[in-house]
Structures are given as C-alpha cells and as structure tokens.
Amino acid sequence: MKALCWMGTGKVEVHNVADPTLLNPHDAIIKVTRTAICGSDLHLFDGFIPTMEEGDILGHEFMGIVEETGKEVSNLRRGACGRSIYDCLWQL
C-alpha cells in the first residue's frame, strides 16, 4: 500500500510499504477511501513529538471499507463502512 511517512521535522514522503496485518483479535484493516489532516498531525510534522521516528506512518482521520477483521470483532464485517477510532470517539 501507499503510506505517508514522517521522515524528519517538516519532511513527509509517500512510500510504498507492505500491507498491514491483523495482530490482535480486536484489530480491523480498513481500506482508506477518504482521509483528512488533523491539527495534531501538525505537532508530529513540526517535530514536537520526540518519539517520532523516520518511517513512521501518519494519518488517523480517515474513512474507508472494512477489508478484514480480527476474530473477536463482532460489530464490523468485510465491506462495511469503517471510520477511524478518533471519528468514533468524537461522536460519543
């Protein structure tokens, strides 16, 4: 997949990286159809987060199609519309 990677303060690049995998039973893989930039992405971009490392993939404001779900996921199924956890939290 294509991913926007943080490569240093004020420097981001789009790279081809491996596809994600399910690691935990509550994980889900979402194929991103639309994405946005969050104000907090700017803190990462501007280098204010010391734990950022070159190669880290950015982006947490997105929506898309559910590709795959872990075996404990009961409220999503393949093909459904998925949103990032952040969007879901805003609606609480």
Closest distance of CB 19 from other proteins, Å: 7
Question: CB-wise, 33 or 55, nearer to other proteins?
Answer: 55
Strand bridging mode 28-36 / 61-69: antiparallel
Give the binding site for other proteins (CB under 8 A).
1, 3, 5-7, 13, 15, 17-26, 51, 53-57, 70-72
Contact (CB, 8 A) for 33 and 64: yes
Closest distance of CB 70 from other proteins, Å: 8
Among 54, 57, 74, 56, which residue's Cα sits nearest to residue 66? Answer: 74
